[in-house]
Chains A and B, each alone.
Chain A
Amino acid sequence: MGKRLMFEKPLGMRDTLPFFYNQKAKARKQLSDAILSYGYSFMDTPLMEYHETVGKVSATLDQQLFKLLDQQGHTLVLRPDMTAPIARVAASQLKNSEFPLRLAYEGPVFRAQQTEGGKPAQFEQVGTELIGDHSSYGDAEVIALLVESLKNAGLNDFVITVGHIGFVKAFFRDVLGEDEETIETLLQFLYRKNYVGYREAVKALPISEDKQTALLQLLTLRGGEEVFEAGRSLARNQTCMQAVNELKQLYRLLKEYGVEQSIYFDLNLISHMDYYTGVLFEGYAPNLGALLCNGGRYDTLLPSFQLNASATGFAVHLERLVEALNVQEDEDQRIGIIVDNDSYARGIKQAKNKRAEGYAVLLQHRDQIADVEAFRSQLSETIDLTNEGGAKG
């Protein structure tokens, strides 16, 4: 390992310079305005948690956790998401409050550092958790709120793909019985987006041709509401049917919210091997190589903190949202007042007045300006109170 150069930051860490900071702050506010308008309350938790509590139950894979040791030798994690910490709080300090809980968050989360670019170890998430509502109304509220938040932030072109892990698992059980090993293998292929492997594995199974066809048809179950009919025709058992009905009901509710234009269904969608338990979703925007947002129903997380409650929520990757919004740099709205020794007091007074009117005003002594023209050009307006400036401004 060579010596660090003075400008270097730890791997995967980024600075946020003023322009990007402003864009992020704006997008964050627009998202949280929408979230607040749905009656959610914002909260925060520590950046660090124990690995054996929050780290173990988080949706983030163990090898992707950013781990550290504390002075007592406990393994800590920099929080990989906000869902697990909020579940911890909901199951402890908030357990006697009135459920359903509507909680929201905004803040940095962390991943293990990676040498490859474009995979930051720290990024910001804005999101919600609806805890203690296990109905389709809960699923619909969370997805509708996600759509409205993104729209409020100014994003118009995006797609939310909705799936149902309960459907996939029930369908596999229906076709394959209790052959857990095969089910696990097929789920893995879907999770890894490997349709070639899935097809090969299905064709190699010692089952009837009808069953193979059914398993292969699963791959075609994506699109609009027509997938419900197709899903229904594949479903033979009660749990499977119920999952399709849940999606149908969800779609009806999303139509009531008027957000169905952004919604697609994909019954193969598996965002995580064993975290989600029902409806789940992912959001995408053009010109972003990676996921913009995701979420879903998770029913086993709260029980791992000894609270028996179902929950659902979403998280938006804030930096990626800003990237997707692709806004140009705003014109600088600041006003500059150039002063010298004689006009300093006048300058302070004038700045105070302007600030009271809501302007951002910077007061600058003439002696410290190297190039007056360059100074002027970065501001929307300059007032020169020096003799040189004379009547100008």
Chain B
Amino acid sequence: MSNRLTIAMPKGRIYEEAAELMKQAGYDLGADLDESRKLILDFPEQNIRIMMAKPMDVVTYVEYGAADIGIAGKDVLLEQDRDVYEVLDLKISPCYVAVAGVPDQPLSRIAPKIATKYPKVASDYFREQGEQIEIIPLNGSIELAPLIGLADRIVDIVSSGRTLKENGLVEYEKIADITSRLIVNPVSYRMKSNEIDQMVSKLSNVMEEASS
């Protein structure tokens, strides 16, 4: 079998940071991959194949084994609970998931509604708080929901807090810190252990150098 590693990279915002990290670890993918429309790129001299995927979908590609390795946000890992190895915290694109809403507004006593892109993260969190809530699933501009009375709170990613502020919302509780993680398919982890261990150790060296 070929021991080429297929890597699912997140398109968009995270790509640049991820590619920089890969470069420092000795895997040069070029800077403009994200701008190209190509979805699959081979780097035969480095024995890797890159797949450009939507960040939300990276975990899916890796779980099914379409990619051996992927770079995925912890938010997606928390939400989707997929069977993959989470081997390394790449510490890139840091942000956090938080509960936010209109200031000084208590949760509805009858049926608290939470608007979110992360139904599982939100229900798990409120269940732990002893609160049974109802989820309003949304795909974007979550901040709208409490403003127009669709929901009591939102559960969403916060990076700078600017969007919340500009819309007059406040953060109530922080749920979890989020960074991008290196994830590995469980079968690849065994079948291509040499290649994967090599990549993981190169990346973790880069991480250690950065933190020291």
Contacts and interface: CB of A to CB of B under 8 A. Distances in A.
Interface in A250-303: 264, 282, 284-291
B185 interface: yes
Given A159-B190, A196-B181, A264-B190, A288 B86 contact: no
B43 interface: no
Contact of B187 (A194, A197, A200, A290): A290
B187 A288 contact: yes
B88 interface: yes
Contact of B190 (A194, A197, A199, A284): A284
Nearest to B2: A286
Interface in B71-86: 83-86
B137 to A, nearest CB: 15
Interface stretch (B58-66, B107-115, B122-130, B164-172): B58-66
B191 A285 contact: yes
Contacts, number: 53
Nearest to B89: A196
Contacts of A197: 86
A157, A284, A291: residue with the most chain B Cβ atoms closer than 10 Å: A284
Contacts of A194: 85-86
Interface string B79-109: 0000111111100000000000000000000
A286 B1 contact: yes
Contacts of A157: 1
A264 B186 CA distance: 14
A288 B65 contact: yes
Interface residues of B, number: 19
Nearest to A118: B64
A109 to B, nearest CB: 18
A193 interface: yes
A194 B186 CA distance: 11
Contacts of B187: 284-286, 288-291
Nearest to A290: B187
Give the dominant DSSP class at A's interface: mixed
A65 B86 CA distance: 27
Contact of A193 (B64, B65, B86): B86
Given A159-B190, A289-B185, A195 B63 contact: no
| Interface size range on A against B | 20 to 34
A193 B186 CA distance: 9
A287 B1 CA distance: 9
B143 to A, nearest CB: 29
Contact of B66 (A196, A264, A282, A289): A289
Contacts of B66: 289
A125 interface: no
| Chain B contact surface mostly | mixed
A229 to B, nearest CB: 19
A159 B87 CA distance: 20
B1 A193 contact: no
Nearest to A160: B190
A282 B88 CA distance: 23
A175 to B, nearest CB: 22
A340 to B, nearest CB: 53
Nearest to B192: A286
A37 to B, nearest CB: 28
Contacts of A159: 190-191
A200 B88 CA distance: 11
A131 B154 CA distance: 54
A90 B163 CA distance: 63
Contact of B65 (A161, A282, A287): A287
B89 A284 contact: no
B129 to A, nearest CB: 20
A285 B185 CA distance: 12
B200 to A, nearest CB: 10
A192 to B, nearest CB: 8
Interface hub of A161, A196, A282 (most chain B Cβ within 10 A): A196
Interface string A184-202: 0000000001111101100
B51 to A, nearest CB: 14
A286 B187 CA distance: 7
Contacts of A118: 64
Which of B1, B84, B181, B191 gathers the greatest number of chain A CB atoms within 10 Å? Answer: B191
B191 A196 contact: no
Nearest to B65: A289
A339 B132 CA distance: 73
Contacts of A195: 85-88
A68 to B, nearest CB: 26
A222 B186 CA distance: 14
* Closest CB pairs A-B (n = 7): A289-B65, A193-B85, A286-B1, A284-B187, A289-B64, A284-B190, A194-B86
10 contacts: A193-B186, A195-B85, A199-B89, A264-B193, A284-B191, A287-B65, A289-B65, A289-B66, A290-B65, A290-B187
